[in-house]
A and B are shown apart, each in its own frame.
Chain A
Amino acid sequence: MSFVSEAEEKSPGCPFVYVVRKDQDVYSQTLRKLFNESHGIFVGLQKDEKEKAGKSRTAQLVRVSKNYRSVIRACMEDSHQMAISARDPVMHMHYSTQVSVLSAMELIWNLCEIMFIEAAPAGLLLCHLLDWVRLHVCEVDNMVCEVLRNESPAKHENFWNVVTIFVLQGRMDEARQLLSKEASANPTSLHMCKVLDELMKKMPVLSPGNNQTLTEMELKWQHWHEECQRFLKDGTFASNPHMEVLCKILLGDENTILEKKELMTTWYHFLVTRLLYCHPTVKHVELHLYAQSSLDMFLGGESSPEPLDSILLAAFEFDIHQVIKECSIALSNWWFVAHLTDLLDHCNLLQSHNLYFGSNMREYLLLEYASGLFAHHSLWQLAVDYFDYCPEYGRAYLEHHIERISLDTEHKALKVLRICEQRMMTEQVRSICKIMSMKAVRNNRLGSALSWSIRAKDAAFATLISDRFLREYCERGTFSDLDLIDNLGPSMLLSDRLTFLGKYREFHRMYGEKKFFAAAKLLLMLMTARIAPCSFWMTLLTDALPLLEHKEVIFSADQTYELMKCLEDVMAAEPKKEKLQDDDAEIMKVEMLRLALARNLARAIIKEGTLEES
């Protein structure tokens, strides 16, 4: 947790309000690229799981790991550029710190990749470790460039330092090339150079290409070692201390190597160099034997190890859980541990470890990371996929978080809705639609409101809105939003009131189109089938008036009886709450209706009678 002061404009008048944020790094502009790009890799990894086994599976996981690392590197590059272009010293510091954090992350990740994911056999392991050192100990690269750029490199003050660096990093070809420059520049040391060159050339190495066995390798190594020893003893290099040192390094003399501390800059470089010349066939389970002692020797009691040192040490000691624990403490984001742990889990390295709280470690870290993303105004979309791949609590977290997203526009609401619908989160779907529907009602957009409640299949709310439509009709005498009501289609069946609204509008349309018989039949049906709410019957009966008074007989005798019954039902149901002012108009209306009904009945009986007789 960290405190970040927000821009003052966000909290007007109160500069003492601080925004507390769960995961500070989530808010970094440059790191957003890391989150977005790694999201794709993460999802990819979860999807093509279980397809392969054995060797190709390892290769696949290593490829994924490399993808993650290249994303970190790209991000580092960006931060570096930002640091260069930043004019503000505070920002410059910020980006420089970011670069160093990212580079530490990449360093740790790379070591974990070598130790846990790749888990190469003896020999090959050392090749990977050497590559690792070459990639990450780059302080010396500038020195190398400077020397090589010199017209006569052999005369440069750092010439021997550079040769030594090459040897310490096991870059024999480059060291030999430089040595040949010395040989040509300095005829007196020609012989020495030749001998040393020969030794370097002969040094046995296990490379991915050749398939020699370990015993073969060890035998060769023994032989080569003795040869070096011989040259050192007979004083071949006595006249040139630099070459003597190099020969001692080849022999794996730990004190000599340690003297070149400043050329290695870090203890893990020392460790790898030490392994290269003392224990070339080390297995990764044996590394812990040398790691701690290398660290102690290198620091020499002068300084205490930093968090990075203990993380790397834990990795060398093959203690995955310690690595993850230390990283969680040292790094200011969950991104690193969450992704690394997930990857290691895919390598089946974490099975045995269950937490006493929550689910397993992988899920715990992913949930933490995703929760941090969800708190972000924009990155929340990424978090959804992470929750999806947390079998135990992912869904609960998602349900909890998704309800807190502010639905500013319909567009955003649709996106959130899609997420919920895809995961059958009916409760959340309903809640989102309800919120949108309420908003629309508040804005007097009944059409939109109805659409949202139809989408949520929220019958109660649809009824409420239908009532608003009907009330508006009663007040104004016309329908608003005809385009919507005319096109309800099957969704009309969602609620009784909505059905009534749709059918009632249909009645008006038929009436408008002069389809009187159909209209009359529909009107009657609305009452007899109890589709219309009782409060609306009077309005419907009033609507029947012009049909009753029409010059043509529209309602049959039977239909008129039914209408009469409806009227009486209304009158009977009407409580005795007669208001005085409405009284006259109301009584008038009823009287008119009764009259019209009676007249229509008379006309209908005559008409039906004559028809039957004819």
Chain B
Amino acid sequence: MEDVVAKYVSQKISKTRWRPVSATALQPPEVFATGSWDNEENKISIWSVGDFAGLVPNGEYHGEPHLLCDIQHSGDVMDMQFLDQERIVAASSTGSVAIFRHHQNNQTLSISQKWEQAHYYDHSWGSASCTGIICNSPEIFTIGEDGRINVFTTDHKEAIRTIDNADSSTLQAVTRLRTTEILTVNSIGQLKIWDFRQQGNEPSQIFSLTGERVPLHCVDRHPNQQHIVATGSQDGMLSIWDVRQGSMPVSLLNAHEAELWEVHFHPSNPDHLFTCSEDGSLWHWDASSDVTERKSFLHTSGRNTSFLPHSSVNQSVISAWLSNDPTKDRMEITNLISNPTLSVNSLDVLGSCLVYGTDTESIYVKKDLFV
């Protein structure tokens, strides 16, 4: 675990997000944003883990993240996402949604747009926590404890579309499914697909975990195969869903011992998945069939050649995540934190880099995930 750099930051971290790197760039991500929670004054901060030209000549810089700039944020940072290279959208426990701009020339952060009381129970009762956001340029979808879905665009002062009472329980997380569709998870274990081409205020599809109504806390969609969705639940279970068929998960994987706070497919290497939990652990799920297949190929040494290529072709088409055949036990799971203490609230992966933030007021960066 020596390749993980830690930094104590004197605030509990609720969200960590890498700044996106342009598709053509080859260098690893260097800048990430964090949001804090439960502090008297919460903050959004921008950090850099980059090598500094001139500081260390040979480029062997393994320094800890250092602060570029920060800005006060009213309320807990409930969710956060980069809109583009310069802008960050943040969801607040006060019910507001704000866009922050990172001025890279003088390293400052400023607030560029804010929607107050985007989520509320009743105008007289006050605001409700905004629990999740997803940017689908030019739209920003927000969800909250009030069960409401809002659609904002940066050029409008008001929401361009609102679905009141979209859910009777708390909406916990949201992700983009296809261009006009979003997917939400709620605290009674349901997945709902919303199609914004339709005018109605009803979800186009509802999926649910059977029986126990376990709350779902996070959701992520497979970056290439849009029908594959992963969710994490209150009891630490990871579920994989195929939204094309059935209304139940394809597979239920026993994972953490407490709330599974975030799940992320690796954006460019989607056979890898990462989950973090309240129990203080962070797991790397490797479903790439590479290892076992290469091994079996060597072992059989050509005897089954007619069979092997066939199966591997099949694999790449139906994706490793949907083949839940227990006999092909090819999921490899690694725990990335050896001494868990308090909750790991958030993680983000980009390239070969992982960043995560915890309730022990620290952030961690791991630079070579796949070595």
Contact = CB atoms under 8 A, between A and B. Distances in A.
B170 A377 contact: no
A446 B40 contact: no
B147 interface: yes
A443 B168 CA distance: 12
B202 to A, nearest CB: 10
B190 interface: yes
Interface in A284-338: none
Nearest to A484: B168
B259 A443 contact: no
Interface string A446-481: 111001001000000000000000000000000011
B8 A448 contact: no
Contacts of B192: 483
Give the residue among B10, B11, B168 with the most A Cβ atoms within 10 A. Answer: B168
B129 A418 contact: no
Residue with the highest number of chain B CB atoms closer than 10 Å, among A39, A40, A411, A451: A411
Interface residues of B, number: 49
A448 B168 contact: yes
Contact of A43 (B10, B168, B341): B341
Contact of B360 (A39, A411, A480): A39
A578 B337 CA distance: 71
Nearest to A489: B211
Contact of B12 (A381, A418, A482, A484): A381
A381 B342 contact: yes
Interface in A430-451: 442-448, 451
A382 B38 CA distance: 13
B16 interface: no
Given A381-B359, A451-B169, A454-B213, A409 B129 contact: yes
B212 A484 contact: no
A36 B361 contact: yes
Contacts of B278: 415, 418
B361 A491 contact: no
A446 B169 CA distance: 8
A484 B169 contact: yes
B76 A445 contact: no
Task: Provide the main secondary structure of the chain A interface.
Answer: helix
A33 B212 contact: no
A494 B128 CA distance: 28
Contacts of B234: 414
Interface in A373-426: 377-378, 381-382, 385, 408-412, 414-415, 418, 422
B10 A33 contact: yes
A445 B120 CA distance: 11
Nearest to A414: B259
A489 B167 contact: no
A484 to B, nearest CB: 4
Nearest to A454: B213
A445 B361 contact: no
B258 A409 contact: no
A385 B341 CA distance: 9
Nearest to A32: B10
Contacts of A491: 213
Interface string A39-73: 11001100000000000000000000000000000
Contacts of B169: 445, 447-448, 451, 483-484
A155 B76 CA distance: 64
A241 interface: no
Contacts of A36: 8, 360-362
Nearest to B342: A381
Given A43-B341, A418-B258, A378 B39 contact: yes
A446 B210 CA distance: 22
A411 B129 contact: yes
Interface string A356-383: 0000000000000000000001100110
A29 interface: yes
B168 A447 contact: yes
A606 B177 CA distance: 58
Contacts of B188: 447, 451, 483-484, 487
Contacts of B342: 39, 381-382
A490 B210 CA distance: 10
A409 B93 CA distance: 7
A411 B42 CA distance: 16
B273 interface: no
Interface string A585-604: 00000000000000000000
Contacts of B40: 377-378
A37 interface: yes
Interface in B219-250: 234
A236 interface: no
Contacts of B339: 40, 44
A30 interface: yes
A377 B212 contact: no
Contacts of A412: 37-38, 76
A488 B168 CA distance: 13
Contact of B211 (A382, A480, A482, A490): A490
Interface in A489-527: 489-491
Contacts of A446: 168
A40 B360 contact: yes
23 contacts: A37-B360, A378-B361, A381-B12, A382-B360, A385-B341, A410-B187, A411-B129, A411-B131, A412-B76, A444-B122, A445-B121, A445-B145, A445-B146, A445-B168, A451-B188, A481-B168, A483-B167, A483-B190, A483-B206, A487-B188, A487-B213, A488-B213, A489-B210
Interface of B: 8, 10-12, 37-40, 76, 78, 93, 121-122, 125, 128-129, 131, 145-147, 165, 167-170, 187-190, 192, 206, 208, 210-213, 215, 234, 258-259, 278, 339, 341-343, 359-362
Interface of A: 29-30, 32-33, 36-37, 39-40, 43-44, 377-378, 381-382, 385, 408-412, 414-415, 418, 422, 442-448, 451, 454, 480-484, 487-491
Given A415-B359, A445-B168, A448-B187, 13 more contacts: A36-B8, A43-B341, A408-B76, A409-B93, A411-B78, A445-B145, A447-B167, A448-B145, A451-B169, A483-B190, A487-B190, A489-B210, A490-B212
9 smallest CB-CB distances across A and B, nearest first, come from A447-B168, A481-B168, A443-B121, A33-B8, A32-B10, A484-B168, A409-B129, A36-B361, A447-B169
